[in-house]
Every structure is written in structure tokens, then in C-alpha cells.
Structure 1
């Protein structure tokens, strides 16, 4: 069963959606494409702007469809692109086992008529040929020159706006120190919100988000450690501001201050680190931010030699879109290629594709950690002193609680580090062969641990 391309044209809400779908109807944009035995159900995963691809599915019998993207258009460009792929047979829709996420959608559908709902308004005129056609270049031979000049001017203005914002930030930090850190901690939410708004005005969006989340990080510390925590947080902001002034074109620093480079830019960079390996999903950390976005960080452990030991896939979606189903399962192992964002210590990455890990990977042990924990904690301070957190692979040790109920990780050599939050009770007192954690503000956030009888997840 296949759909006619004219049906895709009629299904689109407007010409803009059709044009966007044409841009996505390319084999390189899709993975895990498949169909049911009768060809009536089709599905696939489309690469989006975040770390996780969007899951797209459609029923060709009634054109019912579903996509996990946050678009308010129905159907969205991803659904239209999937149908376009099917109509023109751009990729093979081979018969495969129906994924659980497709089966779940089918189970929730009410009857067979859950296709596109009429809006009561006439559909805007659409044109398939116009959607296919590339944008026409202007006849004016000076148009390209003017565009380049305008782009250079915007870049210069953005650069100056960021520098002005950083000046304001350092002045603000000095004011907090003069007024007293006790008063700052008591009023951190309001004060950080005001300076974050100034960062937004100054094109320093990433810095604004970091300032908005700073009060929550301070309040997560015990009362007696908050002043020290404030000194560390504000000190890192000063280091980041000065690093930007020294190296404004450094992609890692710019990412921490302004914005992350687009996915397309990273994939087109021949110097970007690409690592094909077997990975284990350690944990997924989901947080609702003050800016109305939900961040979803998926932490991976490299089970083979070569490349970074850890990888982090970061995705964002609006909180108003509700809880998004995870595409990963903690403890899952898969073979996949990752592209890492440029950094002194590469961690954040984009997943290009994955397949189930080889059979021998299921029983493969974790990499052997370095017995001395000190070098792992010091390396990020030397290369990324402004970083909020860094992943570490802890050697053999145990988790224990002291008389006051505080939790600690203790290595065989006596090295002891505090834990940031609670852990599952089975982990307390258990001998751990190794543990993966995040080190932030002098505390460990446990992700998962390897024990003599298997993996235990701290976030499962």
C-alpha cells in the first residue's frame, strides 16, 4: 500500500508545511524506517534539532498520524515528509516488527478515523512543484554582496552586545560580593532573574539560562555549604566571561555563553569528532527549567576503547508539550555513531544512528576506572574551569551513610566524597566494582553502578 503524492499535498495545512516537508523528504534525514506486513502502517525516526530524533508514524488506510515533535500544526512537517518518502519511494519501507511506540499509538487510537481533523476553514492553496523548487536567487548581482555585508554587521553587533552583557555580569557579581553573600543567597531567585533578563537582551542566552538555574543549585546544597557554593558559582561565571573575551570564536566557550551551533553546522564540520562504538545508557536526567523548557540529558558510557569515556545527548522541548516518551532505556546497550561538539573535553554529542549491540556486548564489563580519583576531578578544572558538572568513572568502593544521615562514596584507599542526593537502598553498603557519576559543586550525583551481580541504576 502506498499513498499518492497529491494526497500529501491535500493533507498539508499550508504551503509552508509542504515546503518544509520537501526539505525533510531525504533519505539522510531518516532512520528506523519500516512498515507493517500489509504496508498500511509506516513509521520512521526523523532527525530534529535536539539530540533525540522525532518518532513519526502514519496509517495509510485513513491517514491517521502521530509525531513526537512539539509542533502545533497537524499534520506536522515530519508526518508529511514520511508520507512523501512513501509516495515517491525515496527509501524502502521494508516489513519489520512493529516498534512498541507504534503499537502504543495504535492502542490509544479511538476507532479507525483518527486522521487529520477538519478545522472548519478552507485549506490554503498549495503547490507541489513550488514546494520542490529551490528558492530563486535574486537577479540583482549585488544582492549576495549586500547579504554578506548585512550578515557581517549582525555578527559584529551580536559580538558587541555579548561583550556589554558580560561587563554588566561582572559588575553585578562585584555588587553581590560587596552586599554580602548571605543576602544574595536569601534573595538569589529575584536577583538572578533580573541579571538573566539582562543577558537575554545582550544575546547571551545560554548564560541567561545558567543564571536562572543558579538558585536551584544553591538551594540543593546543605545550609552550611551554600556560601561556599555561591563563591564557586560566581567564580565560574567570572572565568567564563573572561574566557569569552580572550577567545570569542571558540565554539565551546561561545556555546556556554550564547547559543549552540546548529546540528547541520556540526554535521558539516569535517573536524568534528566522530566515534563509532558500543554504548550503555547510564541514566536520563529530566529537568523543568525556569524558561519554560524541559531539558532531557541522556548519559552514555563508552564500552570500548577509543574516544571519550562518556557522552551526553541533550534535548529540549516546551514544558507545555507535556512529558515526552524516552527513546532510551537505562541499562540498554547499542552500537552507534556519535558526533561530538568541539570541546577541550568532548562530552555533548549527537547520535547519528543506532542498532542493537552485538551479543557479546550484553555481558561486556565496564571499562576499568583509574584507581586514583583525583586526576578525574582535576582535569575538568584545568580545561573547563567554568563547567557546571563533569562525568567521572569511580573505582571500586562503597556507599554509606554517616551518623547524621549524609551519604558518602568511599573508595578502597579511603578517599571519601559526598553524594548530592539519595540513592536506592540496595546500593547502601554494597561493594561496587565501579560507579558512574556527575561531579558538581563538590558533590557526586550517582548515575549507575557496576556490582558483582550486575548493573544497578541510581536513576532507573
Structure 2
């Protein structure tokens, strides 16, 4: 099979460090009783494309059956694990990858259980592609009014009117909630900040609940975070006032949202909590490019697991962020190996700084880039901070902005970790909250004191490393930093 992934590509998919370690132990031949891979077109109505399958010895008498559709990638395993992908899928990919010397041979004898799952998956994928093609045709017909009846591209008039009424009712509730929030913030400023540490989270609980009732989840989330600021260490009064100011700006902005420029209005609505339906976004405009997967990171709470995947377009140079969600304790379905390229269309969410995108049609399976493109272009620290500053000027509610740093050296200091630029003697602190110390020490070990290229998020708390590119025996290697210490 051509263009096999590397072990780094495979391990970047691990939901946590323990899964990667367990997969490495299972990647030996003793654990696998049967395995195979193929990348050829098969009979009509059957499987086409690239996939890997295998049977792995488990705790019972029946082996676990594992299959990976490389065009997604997508994973299926009969084991009871709730992690996604599970250690068996990762181990199978490690055996197939080039780093394992291609221990899984190409073959055409596909077991029925693997072919059945793949056929069903491809059928579903084809149906989704047909729907996207229908939407594309609708867009083309809408551009030529004389060739299409309005009913062909417009929703039913009664349904549209009902949707507009619901939106108007919600907008009124959000406006009332934003106005109430302004009044609450003014009251807190008048009463001073001295009692803020004693209030804790409970002091803002009723306000957050009121924002939920007003159908403004974005405001509710920011209000809840106010309770943590007084316990954040020295200088908390200034930080609390900053948060008050940003919330006040957002509430006032929504009160005048109809007077704002279109893209800024879209940003304000998004920050307040309004969402855009993915189907509406995929009606266009779309941007097709060869997207390099810069990295991914998972975060989890009691409600859901969130996966953030960052991409960079080869021709457009644009950065994009994909979000995927899963049930608590379960990884989302969308998984893209760091370092691979994906030929696909993206639809960007509206805003003054469009970054979040929805994945549209894929035109090829994720593939390894050319040797000269394995490492993305980066910025020095000054340019990276300028990029973050410009983004923050456009969207003051940004928590961070994705950047690629070049020629930086990670180092522990007396007050925490930092990334230093040897050429300019500048440095930036590392935000260690999403990245445990074990990940940062491993980052230091692969650097060996030498500069490396590092992708991550630049924010007001510092830089959060996600992916590193470094040299090893003359080859460029990829390290998924955030997976080394477990799930944040």
C-alpha cells in the first residue's frame, strides 16, 4: 500500500498517553492472529479505497475484530473500550505504518465482517456526498434565477416564517438578558471588589442561570468564569476588571448588533451563543485546498468531550479550526492524523476573524505530504505576538490565536516554562494548564537544547504547545505534545 503513515502520524490519534503506550505493546506479531490491508477498487457495490483489518487476541476466547477505513480515518472494533480510537485500532495502524516495516501486507482477501462494516460506511458516505452535490446544484441554480423556480432553493414559506418568529423571540430574550447583565456589572463595580473572593462561584451563579434562561449560553459561560478570577493569584483585581469590561463590551455590542458591520455583528452573535447550522454553511461559499493537519487537542467535562483540530491551507495559507464533540468519556468521531494532508472543502463560520470551519467534501484520503512540506512555515516570536495582537484587535473576546513558532527552545525556569528565541533573546511563557509537565519535559528532550518548530495557541496566559517538529537522524519527526501527559 502506497504512502503508509509513520508511527508519529498514528500516535497523534491517541486519545491519551496510556492508549499510545498500550498500542505500542500490542503492535507485536504475537497479539495478532490475522491481518491484512488493501487499497484497490473491488467489485461493484463493495468496498473501494484503503483500509486495514485484523484480529487481536483479547481476554476471552474470541479475538477482537478491528478495521480502520483510512479514507476517514474511521475505526471499528468489537472491544468494549469507550476510547476512540481504541488501543487495538492504534496497534493495528502501528503494525501497518512504515515505522513497523510494513508488517501488515497488502492483500485482497477481506473477511466478511470487515467488508460488511466498510460497505455500510461507504454507502452512508456516498449518501452524504449526494446531499452535498444537491446543495451545490441548488447554489448554482440560485445564481441563475431564470433557470430555477424559487421553490427549488427556498424553504417552505410557512416553515421559514415560523423560523423567523422563533429567532425574533430568542433575540428579544437575549437582548433582555444582555441588558440585565449590564446592570449587574454596574452594581458590582459600585459595590467594589473587596468582597469578590468571598463570593466565589456562587456569587455569579444566579446571573449565569439568568443568562441560560435568556438563551445566551456564551454570556453564561463567561459569567461563570468570573468566580474563578479572585483565586487566580496576585493581580486578580486587574484581571477581574478586565473580564468585567469584556463582558460589558459584549453586552452593549449585542444591544446594538443591528448597527454593527456584518462580520463584526456575526462575531458578537457567536460570542453571545448563537450558532450557524452546518447545512447552511455548506451551501457556500466553500474553500477547497490541500489542508495540512497542524495538530489536535481534546478537552472534557461532565457534559461532553471536545476535539479541536487545526488545519492550514497549502495554497490559501489560511488557518482553520474544526470542532468535534462526543459523549462524556467517549472520543468524537472526527479524527485526523497530525502531519497529513487532506484535500477537502471547508466552509468558514462568519465573523470578523473567520477561523472555525465545517468540513465539507473530501476529495482524497489523508496522505503524507512531500518531504519538503513535512514542516509548516513559522514565525519568530515578534511576528507571532503581532499576529495575536491583530486578531485580538478585531475580536477582543479571543482567548487565543493559532500560530506556528520557528526556531524556539523550550526551557524550565524558576517561574515556569518558557519558549526562547536564541536569535533575539526574546521569550514567551508557556501556559501549562492544558499540558502537564511530563509533556513539556518530553518536548525538552526531543529539542536537546536545539531550536525546533512548534505549533500551538498564543494567548494572554502564554503559549500552549500542541505539536512540535524536530530533527532526528536527518529526518523531520512530529511530536503531539498535548497527548503526552494525558487528557487535559
TM exceeds 0.5?
A: yes
Given the alignment of the two structures, is residue 102 of structure 1 paired with residue 67 of structure 2, yes or no?
yes
Given the alignment of the two structures, is residue 177 of structure 1 paired with residue 195 of structure 2, yes or no?
no
Given the alignment of the two structures, is residue 159 of structure 1 paired with residue 159 of structure 2, yes or no?
no
TM-score for the superposition, normalised by structure 1: 0.62
TM-score for the superposition, normalised by structure 2: 0.59
Q: Distance in 2 between matches of 1:391 and 1:427?
A: 19
Three-state SS of the structure 1 residue aligned to 2:410 is strand
Q: Distance in 2 between matches of 1:156 and 1:389?
A: 32
1:205, distance to aligned residue in structure 2 (A): 2.2
Equivalent residue number for residue 481 of structure 2: 458
Given the alignment of the two structures, is residue 396 of structure 1 paired with residue 407 of structure 2, yes or no?
yes
Given the alignment of the two structures, is residue 407 of structure 1 paired with residue 417 of structure 2, yes or no?
yes
Q: Is the 8 A contact 2:325 2:331 kept in 1?
A: no
Three-state SS of the structure 2 residue aligned to 1:260 is coil
Equivalent residue number for residue 327 of structure 1: 335
Given the alignment of the two structures, is residue 283 of structure 1 paired with residue 296 of structure 2, yes or no?
yes
In the alignment, structure 1 segments of 5+ residues that lack a partner are 1-88, 116-143
Q: Distance in 2 between matches of 1:97 and 1:365?
A: 25
Given the alignment of the two structures, is residue 357 of structure 1 paired with residue 352 of structure 2, yes or no?
no
Q: Distance in 2 between matches of 1:301 and 1:263?
A: 20
Cα RMSD for the two superposed structures: 3.4
Given the alignment of the two structures, is residue 226 of structure 1 paired with residue 260 of structure 2, yes or no?
no
Given the alignment of the two structures, is residue 346 of structure 1 paired with residue 378 of structure 2, yes or no?
no
Given the alignment of the two structures, is residue 194 of structure 1 paired with residue 206 of structure 2, yes or no?
yes
Q: Distance in 2 between matches of 1:449 and 1:106?
A: 30
Equivalent residue number for residue 269 of structure 2: 254
Q: Distance in 2 between matches of 1:159 and 1:180?
A: 32
1:385, distance to aligned residue in structure 2 (A): 0.8
Q: Is the 8 A contact 1:281 1:328 kept in 2?
A: no
Equivalent residue number for residue 424 of structure 1: 440
The residue correspondences of 1:10-409 to structure 2 (distance < 5 A) are 92-99=45-52, 102=67, 105-108=76-79, 150-181=162-193, 183-213=195-225, 215=227, 218=229, 223-248=233-258, 250-268=265-283, 270=284, 272-288=285-301, 292-302=303-313, 304-308=314-318, 310-319=319-328, 322-324=330-332, 327-352=335-360, 353=362, 355-357=365-367, 359-360=369-370, 363-369=373-379, 372-404=383-415, 406-409=416-419
Three-state SS of the structure 2 residue aligned to 1:355 is coil
1:98, distance to aligned residue in structure 2 (A): 4.0
Q: Distance in 2 between matches of 1:408 and 1:186?
A: 33
Structure with the bigger RCO (C-alpha within 8 Å, sep 6+) is 2
Equivalent residue number for residue 47 of structure 1: none
Q: Distance in 2 between matches of 1:305 and 1:323?
A: 31
* Aligned residue-pair number: 330
Q: Distance in 2 between matches of 1:166 and 1:236?
A: 13
In the alignment, structure 2 segments of 5+ residues that lack a partner are 1-42, 54-65, 69-74, 81-111, 117-155, 484-488
Q: Is the 8 A contact 1:273 1:342 kept in 2?
A: no
1:265, distance to aligned residue in structure 2 (A): 1.0
